Structure 1
Amino acid sequence: MPTQPLSPAQQIRRAGNLVNLSTPLGLLVAAAGRARRRPGPNGLTLAEGYRLRFPPAGAFTVGNVVICPRDFATLTARQPEVMDHEEVHAWQYFCCGGLPFLPLYLLASAWSWLRTGDVASGNVFERAAGLRRGGYIEAPASNAGLRAVARWAQTLTVKPSRLAERSR
């Protein structure tokens, strides 16, 4: 697949994500998962055949490295806009200064789970990248996660014998 020349903004993002250490971390994650790397579109590096089971995703981005358990041809045939979605995540790493994106993303995922019972639907980063483009189905705000936490807290505080019964 021939790649087009990078725009000045894409060159800045590529250099910035290298300097802020998010792309080197992405290359390390890809190597740990024994993924095969190759140049991709828009200054991204594609790493396919990732063998670790975490995170459970069709693809995920660390810096300018898009990592996929399968191959990108299969992924893009199923989700044609997924590379646009993943490129937005590369920009998010750049805008967040690199590695600080990771805890911010985890907080956004936790908030999303509390509000919707799903880690993506209410996640500001996933919404900005386009839920549908990333292959996500939007869950409504239902406080499903908050209700689950409330039930757990009630079990711990009001009905500790139920917790003991569950652990047997």
Structure 2
Amino acid sequence: MALTKWQVVKLVWNTVNLSTVAGVVVGLIGRARFSRGPRGLFYATGYKLRFPVAGAFTIGNMILTKHDRAYFEARPVLVRHEERHSWQYFCLFGLPMLPLYVLGVVWSFLRTGCPASRNPFERLASLKDGNYDEKPVRPLGQILSQTFRRS
């Protein structure tokens, strides 16, 4: 299927802003196999590194996973979730997305004890589509005392 005008714009911009290039570098470091995905996305499958801990993650237009291509073919909703992250890279001029995403993880963890539940990037990409359960917000003091409690 042909790409839409906006998919082409995103593909080009995420290459120019170096986010997709960074995704390729991470895939190379993780010894992944590369292939074309739908809608201007690329897959890096067989990713060997243990970080990050996720079924899949996106850098630019590159979706990386330790699984094989069939993993994505069986999960079109997850691919849509990851595609939304590629649009976030587009809107945030590429690599600034990474530290902002980390701040989202920290905020979410402080509020819920979960890295995704209150992470605005995961929420905008749809928690459900990313296979995340929404955890309730807890008082900040409770989270901090549990985090720093001595054993």
TM-score bracket relative to the smaller structure? over 0.9
Q: Distance in 2 between matches of 1:16 and 1:152?
A: 40
Residues 65-90 of structure 1 show CA distances to partners (whole Å, capped at 9, x for unaligned) of: 0001111313553x440000000000
Q: State the Cα distance separating 1:141 from its structure 2 match.
A: 1.0
Number of aligned residue pairs = 151
> TM-score, normalized by length of structure 2?
0.93
Residue 85 of structure 1 corresponds to: 81
SS at match of 1:66: strand
Alpha-carbon distance, 1:136 to partner = 0.8
Runs (5+) with no aligned partner, structure 2: none
Pair 1:71 & 2:62 matched = no
Percent of residue pairs identical: 47
- Highest CA radius of gyration, 1 or 2? 1
Q: Aligned equivalents of 1:9 and 1:35: distance in 2?
A: 27
Q: Indicate the residue corresponding to 2:142 in structure 1.
A: 147
Gaps of 5+ in 1: 156-162
Deviation at 1:151, TM superposition (A): 4.9
**Code of the aligned partner of 1:88:** R
Instruction: Report the AA paired with residue 68 of structure 1.
Output: T
Shift of 1:137: 1.0
Secondary structure (helix, strand or coil) at the match of 2:39 reads helix
RMSD: 1.6
2:112–2:143 CA contact under 8 A, matched in 1: no
TM-score, length basis structure 1? 0.84
Which of 111, 117, 124 matches 1:115?
Answer: 111
